[in-house]
């Protein structure tokens, strides 16, 4: 690859996602607003209860608040990016979804089992969400790997192959 072609490829990559597209910006703002709103809502519910909440209820409030904060953090992080992401945002979002679905499924199944109603329905529905989240995570990782591979191909010099 000539120096001029390599420079052109580098410039193309730098322009690729140097600023967020309108759709990406809308998704980032939506994640930020939804995360902050969820955090405020969960904190208001949690603080509005008396101090005699059972341990599993406090745990549920803490986990849901943490997931809301994760989405808010993700939205804020995404809005501040000024470099090509190469689908890193999709990988992060997918893993937040995986963590939330698996943790929520486990918590709901444990509560159902403790109440004697049987964890099977909770595990079935939660399992569907977890499998969907894992599928999206695998897809995001594959897309990121393909983009990074293509970037290496475009920027490879003659000595690289």
pLDDT of 121-138, one tens digit each?
999 999 999 999 999 999
Number of H helices, E strands in the chain: 5, 0
User: CB of 118 within 8 A of CB of 112?
Assistant: yes
What mean pLDDT, rounded, does the chain reach?
86
Q: Write down the pTM of the prediction.
A: 0.77
Tally of domains in the chain = 1
- pLDDT score of 70: 96
Residue 10: pLDDT band (50, 70, 90) is: low
25: enclosing H helix or E strand: helix 22-48
Reported as a single tens digit per residue, the pLDDT across 39-86 is 999 999 988 887 788 888 888 889 999 999 999 999 999 888 866 677
84-106 burial code (b ≥16 CB/10 A, e <16): ebbbbbbbbbbbbbbbbbbbbbb
Domain span holding position 88: 3-160
């Amino acid at each position: 690859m000539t120096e001029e072609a390599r420079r052109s490829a580098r410039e193309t990559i730098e322009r690729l996602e140097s600023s967020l597209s309108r759709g990406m910006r809308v998704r980032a703002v939506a994640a930020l607003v939804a995360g902050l709103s969820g955090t405020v809502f969960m904190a208001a519910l949690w603080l509005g209860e008396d101090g005699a909440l059972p341990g599993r209820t406090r745990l549920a409030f803490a986990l849901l608040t943490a997931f809301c904060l994760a989405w808010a953090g993700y939205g804020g992080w995404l809005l501040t990016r000024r470099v090509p992401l190469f689908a890193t945002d999709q990988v992060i979002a997918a893993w937040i979804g995986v963590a939330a679905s698996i943790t929520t499924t486990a918590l709901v199944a444990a509560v159902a089992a403790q109440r004697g109603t049987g964890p099977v329905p909770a595990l079935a529905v939660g399992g569907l969400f977890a499998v969907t989240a894992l599928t999206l995570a695998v897809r995001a990782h594959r897309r990121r790997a393909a983009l990074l591979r293509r970037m290496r191909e475009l920027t490879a010099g003659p000595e690289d192959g």
